[in-house]
Amino acid sequence: MDPARRIVVVAFSRSDSGELVPDMDAMKFETEALALEAARELAPLHLGVVAWARSACRHPGDYGAPMILFQSGEVPPIL
């Protein structure tokens, strides 16, 4: 099977204990351009934002390495 591309944007804040935590559910996009647009809009509103992409096969657990498309502020290490 041909791998599909997974493109995701996640925004972060700090929990009461000081840990970086997702501020909302991860958003999935069809194109890098749409993900970059969303990430840039979210950046001034959150402590950190990251947009990343990776190839994903249809078999569970079969993923390529993540590639950072956009990062702003504080974000935890990706995978």
Query: What domain count does the chain have?
Result: 1
Nearest in space to 40 (alpha carbons), one of 5, 75, 73: 73
> For residue 12, how many C-alpha atoms fall within 13 Å in the half-sphere facing its CB?
18
Provide the domain limits for residue 27: 4-73
**Within a domain: 79:** no
Percent of the chain residues topping a pLDDT of 70:
87
38-61 confidence digits (pLDDT tens): 999 999 999 999 999 998 766 666
Residue 9 lies in a domain: yes
User: Mean per-residue pLDDT for 56-73?
Assistant: 82
Which two three-digit tokens encode residue 53? 């992409």
Task: Establish if 78 belongs to a structural domain.
Answer: no
For residue 68, is it within any domain?
Answer: yes
CA distance 48 to 12: 5
pTM: 0.84
Provide the pLDDT confidence category of residue 3 given band limits of 50, 70 and 90.
Answer: low
